[in-house]
Amino acid sequence: MYSAAEQFDSLQARGAAFLGTEYAIMGGAMSWVSERNLVAAVSNAGGFGVIACGSMSPALLEAEIAGTRALTDKPFGVNLITMHPELDDLVQVCLRAEVGHVVLAGGIPPGSALRAVKDGGAKLIAFAPALVLAKRFVRSGVDALIIEGSEAGGHIGPVSLTVLAQEILPYISEVPIFVAGGLGRGEAILGYLEMGASGAQLGTRFAASVESIAHENFKNAFIKANARDAVSSIQLDDRFPVIPVRGLANEGTRNFLNYQAQVLAKFQSGELDKTAAQLSIEHFWAGALRRAVIDGDIQGGSVMAGQSVGMVTSIQSVAEILLELRTQALAALGTRSRIAIAEGV
């Protein structure tokens, strides 16, 4: 009989090999949080750190990659938003820096960016919010997929990871799939590995780690919060669609509703056209997130967090978090083996 460690390592072997890491665990790309210090810490501890490019310019991304390289010689990736107006230039920055893995998020990857990443020799990872898109991405040459449930923090889709995993994992085997959203314990990761996932992506737990540059107020808010406190933002008017954002309920979430109402009034009066109004609403969260993460304004700022925030009970180092997740998974496998032996299975 294989040991618990051997069983677990076998389950995560495909994901770990794809990432070039000890743990098949990716760090979620969180704006203002997933910068060089946290990314390097995740990679140095055996996971796979991912830089959140967000709205960075090509020059800023180039500097961030170089800064990360100064802190780690381990593999890490870069997350690029498909809607970024300089996406093609950002891809070239990653390729020139020989970044091994590029994550395209926020929409269907444009063909030009997809081909550039592939032709440049990097591995391409895309988010698949539905089975039909997962199949499409595989056909287009994507090297791995992430399926992220609505339990996650930040910008989210409408479907839970529990459902996405059942819809996608049994039908896609051509490429590794990493699960994300609401993951806070090793037993849960183990369960998805047994369903066919190759690894996992975590954000919320790493956001509250020792190495995270997030303000102490931000981290302490995580420690005090329960899962039910991480709520999804509300869209006020169907004419101005809003990608839901999950964060801790506070004055900032209420301010977002008021802000939408103000923008709507400006649109109706002719002060803003539809495009300008939409952009104004979408830009609200960028400033609000920085106020929370960097300045520590956890009342007026946006404290983006997943529902796994209820499992953040202390500020741990990244290495401690990864070891704890593995220990929990091994304990679950060990318990199962002991029960099987006792029952003579």
The rounded mean pLDDT for the chain is 94
278: confidence class by pLDDT, cuts 50, 70, 90: confident
∠ CA 217-148-171 to the nearest 5 degrees? 165
| Parallel, antiparallel or unpaired: strands 101-105 and 76-81 | parallel
Residue 112 host element (H or E): helix 111-119
Residue with tokens 């051997």: 6
pTM for the full predicted model: 0.94
Per-residue pLDDT reduced to its tens digit, 287-324: 889 999 999 999 999 999 999 999 999 999 999 999 99
Position 77 pLDDT exceeds 70 = yes
Which CATH superfamily is 4-202+315-342 part of? Aldolase class I (3.20.20.70)
Average pLDDT over residues 113-138: 97
Residue 76 to residue 60: CA distance in whole angstroms: 17
Q: Which amino acid is at 320?
A: E
Q: Where are the domains of the chain?
A: 4-202+315-342, 226-293
Locate the DSSP E strands across 59-159.
76-81, 101-105, 123-127, 144-148, 154-155
Phi then psi for 208, rounded to 5 degrees? Answer: -100, 20
345: confidence class by pLDDT, cuts 50, 70, 90: low
Position 31 pLDDT exceeds 90 = yes
Closest CA to 105 of 125, 85, 131: 125
Beta carbons within 8 Å of 23's beta carbon, 6+ residues apart: 12, 16, 45, 46, 47, 48, 199, 322, 325, 326
Higher local confidence (pLDDT), 15 or 256: 15
pLDDT of residue 239: 87
> For residues 33 and 213, is the Cβ–Cβ distance under 8 A?
yes
pLDDT of residue 275: 86
> For residues 101 and 77, is the Cβ–Cβ distance under 8 A?
yes
> For residues 156 and 148, is the Cβ–Cβ distance under 8 A?
yes
340: confidence class by pLDDT, cuts 50, 70, 90: low
Structure tokens that stand for 55 in this block: 């709205």
Position 148 pLDDT exceeds 80 = yes
pLDDT of residue 338: 75
Q: Per mean pLDDT, which range of 105-119, 196-210, 241-255, 298-312 is the poorest?
A: 241-255
Position 129 pLDDT exceeds 60 = yes
Position 1 pLDDT exceeds 80 = no
Per-residue pLDDT reduced to its tens digit, 217-261: 999 999 999 999 999 988 888 888 888 889 999 998 888 888 999
Residue 245 to residue 156: CA distance in whole angstroms: 6
> For residues 267 and 285, is the Cβ–Cβ distance under 8 A?
no
Average pLDDT over residues 94-99: 98
